[in-house]
Chains A and B, each alone.
Chain A
Amino acid sequence: MTQSPVILTQTSYSLSSRFSSSWALPRSWLTLLFITTFITLNGCTTITIDEHKQADADITIESHQSVVILGRRHSSDYETEPDLISCIGNVMSNGNNGLNIIEEQTFTDSLYPWFEPRTAPMRVKDLNRFLKNEAVAQAIDAFNIRYIVWVDGNTETTNSSGSIGCSISVGGAGCFGFGTWDKESDYEATIWDYHHRENRGQISADAQGTSYMPAVVVPIPLIARVQNNACKGMGEQLRNFFNAKAAQAQQ
């Protein structure tokens, strides 16, 4: 009775050592395949981008002018994620036709306390409220701001089901089961023309995706990168919005 666990342990050890010696090369390939599978397999995401622009909007942005992207955080239910704002900024500043993007934290620190969750202007005309203060106007001018983009929304898990159980014993550890969850992103970007104090348009991005996690000994996460895809979709649309309008204005 007392010897059986020892025998079991020895058996599993010898099996594993035999496996590792005779399957050395294929095993490394398998590991590589496994890692590649992890990286390449993603859950599916669908994105819908809508653009609404003012018909008479005169969008021009010169090379020395900048855009600042800010997240709305006035609601008690949700906050626009700082990493999403940063991600949109990266997408807009990348590439040949990238724009000058001011980092959100740098801008809000320099304009403290006028762009805090409870004090930020909700409408473009509200900018006049604190621009009467010369110091505030000078602080904004120091960034050469031409457009302010407000992003409002968040990503949340809307549904989840399934279960995965894991156990550890003398012979080893493993998991078994299946889990799935849905995520939904809903963001709207509003573009303010700082020079003319006018609203130039809105871009919305809705993304849905389902992630899966089958587990047969090892859990394999197939993650739908919903927020990341919403960021890329919105960032590219915003970049095109400014560039297309800038090209149109040059003609």
Chain B
Amino acid sequence: MFSQPQRNTLRQIRDYHQRARRNMAILLFALPFFLASCTNSLVVDTEFPSPIVPQVGITMGVVYDEALKSFTYKEEDKNRDKWVIEAGDAHTRLFDQIFPAMFADVNILENHILENHESGAGNYDLVLYPQIKEFQYSSPKETRIKIYEVWIKYHMQVFNANGDLVADWLMSAYGKTPSAFLQSKEEAMNQAISVALRDLGATLSIGFVKVPEIRTWLEENKPRPVPTNSVSARPKT
């Protein structure tokens, strides 16, 4: 049916297609690995000291919503490095460390208590609801040295036992990689976020009682006296 040269040509075409299919399969298999290697993934890992601040003699309920507990920043800008930063756990660890030093009693509340104020908020003097509103960073491409800068904006809300809003304010935290010497991108970013969270802890633990609405509430609702140097137990869930 076909001459010998024609059969040879057909075999060459078939071999070519087989090779092309095999190469395409290899490429498709390897593509996710290449793409993954271009993304910087970071789970923020750091420890925080307990603050030495005068303790307020109130029972504080604290609400960590899902958005805070699982906060993950994903860089969407095509012109910047791809980053996936998980900082939710670091935030809850920070709050668990500073709130027992700030308040006589601390209880972690379920999210639904905020939605249905009458179901349990009455067991607490105040309920604090921290939320992350914005996360920004500048990378070494912008700063020209291996230093990351991080800004985080928070929305703090405090409710009373009846579920009424007592105070509502914005806070910002700032952190910068302390040293550019011999660090990976992830380590440098981790350090910048750790400094920012430490800054948040400092500002919140010193500044909470200075928020005008909180100060007014404390003047009107005399907190119970607490012994000096007292730190409440770890927050109850």
Contact = CB atoms under 8 A, between A and B. Distances in A.
A15 B203 CA distance: 68
A247 interface: no
Nearest to A134: B228
B199 interface: yes
A114 B101 CA distance: 14
Given A110-B49, A139-B52, A83 B228 contact: no
Contacts of A139: 52
Which are the 8 A-B pairs with shortest beta-carbon distances?
A113-B202, A112-B49, A109-B49, A116-B202, A135-B52, A135-B229, A113-B51, A82-B178
A39 to B, nearest CB: 19
Contacts of A113: 51-53, 198, 201-203, 205-206
Interface in B89-113: none
Contact of A81 (B179, B198, B228): B179
Contacts of B228: 134-135
A76 to B, nearest CB: 9
Contacts of A123: none
Interface of B: 48-54, 176, 178-179, 181, 198-199, 201-203, 205-206, 228-229
Contact of B206 (A81, A83, A110, A119): A119
Contacts of A114: 52
B56 to A, nearest CB: 13
A133 B228 CA distance: 9
A117 B181 contact: no
B145 to A, nearest CB: 9
Contact of A79 (B49, B51, B52, B176): B176
Nearest to B195: A117
A136 interface: yes
B193 to A, nearest CB: 15
B143 to A, nearest CB: 12
B52 A136 contact: yes
Interface string A98-134: 0000000000011111101111000000000000011
